[in-house]
């Protein structure tokens, strides 16, 4: 009887050890730079409040964090094929929901969308209809606002980054660009673009809440409830509000 008990304890211990070893210990973060929320510091290290949110989430989940820098389209592909586990700030669409599991609760509400035109451009862009004769610079793969995204009348010129859209605007290759209000304000005031672009009067509301997305093919998918529990705790204890408020105050 003692031998049987010892054997059962050994089997249970071995099973528990194997399960612990099977659980992934690294969280692969598909990292598309999105200043000021996801960027790189002067040493080339990932920085910004969205980055810090994921760092804290990984800490609470007892996972090491590995960054996978990539443009948006490549990051989405990495999530789709299981090479990355998590993204932050990417918008939910029916197509993306096939391979991205958007976590609840949202960590923030999105802000407004701004338009920029060249300095000295006298055209008044204050109504949505003012966009129709123009070429609008957009970022490839980004979903902006339902009306704008579905409007086949809008002529779009897609680039890989917001910075490339600003450069096209300055060079006269597009008439106007659309971007997140806070990110565009930061870029417009940068050394490269200050005095060369001006904000148009038109603003669009962006109704999408911001969520973290876990890849449906991620080996961490069974831990979804734990991710959501940790996220809820970060909202409840003010961690997320503190990180986001610091950045918003800095760029005002």
First to last CA, the chain: 73
The lowest-confidence range among 101-105, 109-113, 229-233 is 109-113
Predicted confidence (pLDDT) per residue in 191-216, tens digit: 999 999 999 999 998 767 889 999 99
Predicted confidence (pLDDT) per residue in 38-77, tens digit: 999 999 999 999 999 999 999 999 999 999 999 999 999 9
pTM value is: 0.66
Task: Show the domains of the chain with their CATH numbers.
Answer: 25-109+209-251 (3.40.190.10), 113-204 (3.40.190.10)
Q: Is the pLDDT of residue 251 over 50?
A: no
176 compared with 25, residue with greater pLDDT? 176
Name the residue among 87, 78, 107, 103 with its Cα closest to residue 224: 103
């Amino acid at each position: 009887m003692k031998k049987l008990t010892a054997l059962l304890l050994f089997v249970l211990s071995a099973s528990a050890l194997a399960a612990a070893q099977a659980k992934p210990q690294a969280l692969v973060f598909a990292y598309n730079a999105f200043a000021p929320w996801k960027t790189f510091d002067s040493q080339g290290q990932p920085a910004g409040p969205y980055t810090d949110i994921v760092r804290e989430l990984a800490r609470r989940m007892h996972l090491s964090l590995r960054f996978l820098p990539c443009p948006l389209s490549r990051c989405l592909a990495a999530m789709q094929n299981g090479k990355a586990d998590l993204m932050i700030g990417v918008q939910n669409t029916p197509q993306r929901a096939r391979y991205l599991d958007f976590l609840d609760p949202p960590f923030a509400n999105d802000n407004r969308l701004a338009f920029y035109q060249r300095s000295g451009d006298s055209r008044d862009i204050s109504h949505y209809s003012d966009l129709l004769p123009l070429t609008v610079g957009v970022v490839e793969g980004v979903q902006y606002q339902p009306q704008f995204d579905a409007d086949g009348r809008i002529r779009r010129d897609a680039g890989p980054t917001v910075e490339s859209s600003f450069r096209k605007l300055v060079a006269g290759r597009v008439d106007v660009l659309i971007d997140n209000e806070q990110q565009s304000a930061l870029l417009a005031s940068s050394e490269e673009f200050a005095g060369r672009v001006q904000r148009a009067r038109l603003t669009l509301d962006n109704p999408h809440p911001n969520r973290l997305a876990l890849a449906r093919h991620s080996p961490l998918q069974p831990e979804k409830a734990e991710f959501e529990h940790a996220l809820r705790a970060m909202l409840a204890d003010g961690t997320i509000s503190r990180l986001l408020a610091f950045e918003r105050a800095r760029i005002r």
